[in-house]
């Protein structure tokens, strides 16, 4: 097989596996959200807060591609369940900062990801530092492309 044909085949396989990974991620989020008793979108918002820390409601809306009205409903639901609380930004009282209740999140949500985390850590140990760096670069760029697409779809 020529190098060009081999690359075309590899690109196709990579695309397929990324799509499978994406689908698995969505399905896993839906399953965990169902177990916890929240909407899958709410779970993703919790994850963004877990990853990035306290965020202005507007930034959370931008990250998710939700309107400000929709993100307000998400925050309302999460606050009612005890996963987040709101506070006014000390520099601009019009801004609302969404703060994660990490203890509640760890108790109710993180436990559902322990096996996955353990298995992924085993997988990471089979990779060299160079491979991890390559994967990290690729995934970081892929996430930027996806974030741009979310923003484009919003408008």
User: pLDDT of 15-74, one tens digit each?
Assistant: 999 999 999 999 999 999 999 999 999 999 999 999 999 999 999 999 999 999 999 999
User: pLDDT of 39-48, one tens digit each?
Assistant: 999 999 999 9
Q: What's the CA dihedral at 48, 49, 52, 58 to 10 degrees?
A: 80
Q: What is the DSSP string of 8-49?
A: HHHHHHHHHHHHHHHHHHHHHHHHHHHHHTS-HHHHHHHHHH
User: pLDDT of 71-105, one tens digit each?
Assistant: 999 999 999 999 999 998 888 888 899 999 999 99
pTM of the model: 0.86
Is residue 2's pLDDT more than 80? no
- The CA-based diameter of the chain, rounded to the nearest angstrom, is 63
Edge-to-edge strand order for the sheet containing 55-56?
Answer: 55-56, 96-100, 84-88
């Amino acid at each position: 097989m020529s190098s060009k044909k081999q690359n075309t085949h590899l690109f196709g396989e990579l695309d397929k596996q990324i799509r499978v990974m994406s689908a698995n991620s969505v399905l896993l989020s839906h399953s965990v959200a169902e177990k916890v008793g929240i909407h899958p979108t709410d779970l993703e918002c919790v994850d963004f807060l877990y990853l990035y820390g306290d965020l202005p409601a507007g930034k959370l809306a931008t990250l998710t591609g939700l309107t400000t009205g929709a993100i307000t409903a998400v925050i309302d639901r999460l606050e009612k369940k005890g996963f987040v609380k709101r506070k006014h930004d000390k520099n601009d009282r019009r801004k609302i900062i969404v703060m994660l209740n990490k203890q509640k999140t760890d108790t109710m949500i993180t436990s559902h990801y322990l096996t996955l985390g353990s298995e992924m850590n085993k997988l990471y140990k089979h990779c060299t530092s160079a491979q991890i760096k390559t994967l990290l670069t690729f995934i970081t760029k892929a996430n930027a492309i996806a974030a741009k697409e979310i923003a484009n779809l919003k408008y």
